[in-house]
Structure 1
Amino acid sequence: MTGIPRAPLWLGLAGLIPFIWGALTGLVDPLANWGATTLGGRFVGPYIQLFYGTVILSFMSGVLWGFATKTSGAKATAGYILAVLPALWAFFMTSGGPVGSGLNLMFGFAGLLVLDAAFWHWRLAPRWWLKLRTLLTVVVLACLAVGVFL
């Protein structure tokens, strides 16, 4: 991905590992068995995706909050309000079973991308931000879809 600094790109890609691992262990039974035996049941299939996805949505609220500090007045107020939405979504919408929680996480990450686009459009995020966030979101949604739809 041209134009994205290496550190954010590599760290963002590394952050996909729990989502990819969750999808793989949801699709490959021997891998799921090995993971559950070695790492514990919480670290395979949709469970690792749900735990980690909740953490990441909360983390991204903090990132957006940081972007909101770059402005003032009504735009800052709107930014702060929008910034807390991913964390609130994760808190309130991931308490059901794995399918419902996974679907709600999918909606949360799709909504987060809309917020990323808004902060980018307001020039509060770096120029490369939306490219990176789009790439990461597509992979996250595909991985979560394994737990939800397969």
Structure 2
Amino acid sequence: MFTSRVPTSALVLGLAGILPFAWGVVTMWVPQAASLTMQWVGPRFIGPYVGLSYGTVILAFMSGVLWGFSTRAEEGVATSGYALSVLPALWAFFMVGGGPVSAAMALMAGFVGLLALDWMFWNQGLAPEWWMKLRILLTTGVILCLLPIVL
């Protein structure tokens, strides 16, 4: 099923994309890291704030990726692909807010929903053969980084 290898550049850049989420967790658990970050770049880049704002951006970004996959489809499939591709961005826009716990829960649900859309596009042959291997890894990392906000 997931036999093809993820290209090194996609894997490295994808894993690097988890760093802002992970940094949010670090600054939640290590007061010195939070203090230094606060001094250097300000409060938007510590604790839950960095993970929540970055997660919102990434869901919107992934809508664009799915839109791009839709351009590879035949017209009827492409139309439904375009319509479905905007769902992660709309989810982030309408559902993320109301405090850190509810925002983190909405983002986690959004990333799980995105994974379902990833599978759909991959299953239709619109995403690269290695896509799901990468997306499962990255989605797991994102959810694990957002989970401490909820707990």
| TM-score, normalised with respect to structure 1 | 0.95
List structure 1 runs of 4+ shifted beyond 2 angstroms. Answer: none
Is residue 73–residue 126 contact of structure 2 (8 Å, CA) maintained in 1? yes
From 125, 128, 137, give the equivalent of 2:127: 125
Q: CA deviation at 1:74?
A: 2.4
* Offset of residue 2 of structure 1: 6.8
Q: Helix, strand or coil for the counterpart of 2:27?
A: helix
Q: Which moved more, 1:15-24 or 1:30-39?
A: 30-39
Distance in 1, Cα, partners of 2:73 & 2:139: 26
Q: Does 1:95 align with 2:62?
A: no
- Alignment root-mean-square deviation, CA: 1.3
The equivalent residue for 1:74 is: 76
* Contact 2:59–2:89 under 8 Å retained in 1: yes
Residue type of the alignment partner of 1:136? L
Corresponding residue of 1:7: 9
Structure 2 SS opposite 1:71:
coil
In the aligned structure 2, how far is the partner of 1:14 from the partner of 1:84?
Answer: 24
Gap runs ≥5 in structure 1: none
CA distance in 1, matches of 2:32, 2:38: 10
Contact 2:4-2:129 at 8 Å conserved across structures: no
Cα deviation, 1:58-86, whole Å, max 9, x if unaligned, reads 00000000001111232111111110000
Change (3 A) 1:70 1:2: closer
Q: Distance in 2 between matches of 1:26 and 1:112?
A: 26
Q: Unaligned 5+ residue runs, structure 2?
A: none
Alignment deviations for residues 105-127 of structure 1 (CA, whole Å, 9 cap, x no partner): 00000110010011000010000
Aligned to 2:48: 46
TM-score, L = length of structure 2: 0.95
Q: Give, as a single letter, the amino acid of the residue that structure 2 aligns with 1:29.
A: P
